[in-house]
Amino acid sequence: MKQMVNLEIANEILAQKIQSIEDEYVNLTDTHKRILSKDIISTINQPPFNRSPLDGYALISEDSKGASEENPVVLEIVEEVCAGSYPTKELKNNMATRIMTGAPIPKGADCVIRQEDTYEKDGKVYIYIELNKFQNYCFEGEDLKKGQTVIKKDSEINFGEVGIIASLGMKQVSVYKKPKVAILSTGDELLDIGEKLIPGKIYNSNIYTLSARLKELNAEPIILGICGDDIEKTSRKIENIIDEVDLVITTGGVSVGKKDIIKDVMKKINADILFWKVDIKPGTPVLCSYLKNKLIISLSGNPAASSITFELLVRPVLSQMVNKKDSKLKRTSAIFDNSYLKKSKKRRFLRGKLSYSQNGPVVKLTSSKQSSGVLSSTLKCNCLIDVPKGSTGLEKGDKVEIIPL
């Protein structure tokens, strides 16, 4: 078992143990934010026929030569085609088809004139301008071609991808299954919400905080509840669920106190302890273990600490499980808009709110209270500020490194 590893080493150790999860077919309406497990290949040309981009008249471009407002070209209208219908007549010289936006261009026509540049009377159209060949003409397959790889596997599906897939007529898509994540809290001091608060007890917020975050990240939380500081009960809970989930998260019991039981639990269930403690603050006492090819990540019971270490350690694991392209933590920089004069013997992560000004990204502290037990510091938090080990403090205007959430 390794002790007191830095964050990057901790991420590397976890990455080596992650198993990709299986895929499944789901309805297109259920794919938002899911990760593709197979390439999307176009089965049709898009558009599937030559079509008009505007309301007007399809014609043969050479018939428009010399046309002007003073000397219009007059063509016979032989047909009208609306979107959803299909032309039945092939155009010859001196003929035109009335056409609507999105309608198929008839055979023989090689351009479309917009309605505003014409005048129609008694079954004839008067053309006022010259057109070039294929002007206002959308070709079959000019957007997507049959057989083309449209979206590559391991891409996240957002609204644009959903629209493209729908345009190909696909009802179902192959995506990675949502990771199933069990969450268990330990601690004799914990009560579940709805119970009467009595002296010495606190409500268990960690399970609900992490469950909500897992849902935001497209994982399926499985809440195991509270075990108290009970080695036997905690061991049974983990052993009973380990085969049914992809990951187990516990909170509490990972420090050096008399009732910090998680190390003993891992030994009892014969889990391989990968490391204990990460050289960061808050959230130093993290214990990561491995059982039956599944990771067990045990976080601090302090609410803010558990949220921060979840982002730093658990979120990259979830991303890698579903082969998300960029599973590593994204980093950027911003200008610090507070002063934080506290010295940092350890690498420290502060809760921040990132916004944008005319001069670029700016970050402020969500709260002046940044200790591991202050859950209110997570309100409006959309990034973590990475303060290097040995920092003597941050001044307003300093450039800082941040991790967007």
* Residue 378 pLDDT: 84
Could you tell me how many residues make up the chain? 405
CA R_g for the chain:
31
Per-residue confidence band for 57, with pLDDT thresholds at 50, 70 and 90: very high
Mean pLDDT of 39-57: 96
Per-residue confidence band for 78, with pLDDT thresholds at 50, 70 and 90: very high
Which pLDDT tens digit goes with each residue over 268-296? Answer: 999 999 999 999 999 999 999 999 999 99
- This prediction's pTM: 0.84
Burial letters 251-277, b for 16+ CB under 10 A, else e = bbbbbeeeebbbbebbebbebebbbbb
- The answer to whether 229 touches 253, Cβ cutoff 8 Å, is yes
Mean pLDDT of 15-22: 92
* Residue 385 pLDDT: 96
How far apart CA 287 and CA 247 sit, in angstroms, is: 14
Torsion of CA 134, 137, 139, 142, to 10 degrees: 110
Backbone angles phi, psi at 366, to 5 degrees: -75, -25
**CA 325, 329, 335, 337 torsion-angle sign:** positive
Which pLDDT tens digit goes with each residue over 211-268? Answer: 999 999 999 999 999 998 999 999 999 999 999 999 999 999 998 877 789 999 999 9
* Residue 234 pLDDT: 96
* Residue 260 pLDDT: 86
Which pLDDT tens digit goes with each residue over 169-198? Answer: 999 999 999 999 999 999 999 999 999 999
Mean pLDDT (the chain, rounded): 94
* Residue 258 pLDDT: 77
* Residue 311 pLDDT: 96
How far apart CA 210 and CA 216 sit, in angstroms, is: 10
Peptide bond before residue 361 is cis, with ω within 30 degrees of 0: no
Name which residue leads in pLDDT, 328 or 16: 16
- pLDDT over threshold 80, residue 131: yes
How far apart CA 329 and CA 297 sit, in angstroms, is: 17
* Residue 285 pLDDT: 94
Mean pLDDT of 85-101: 97
Per-residue confidence band for 367, with pLDDT thresholds at 50, 70 and 90: confident
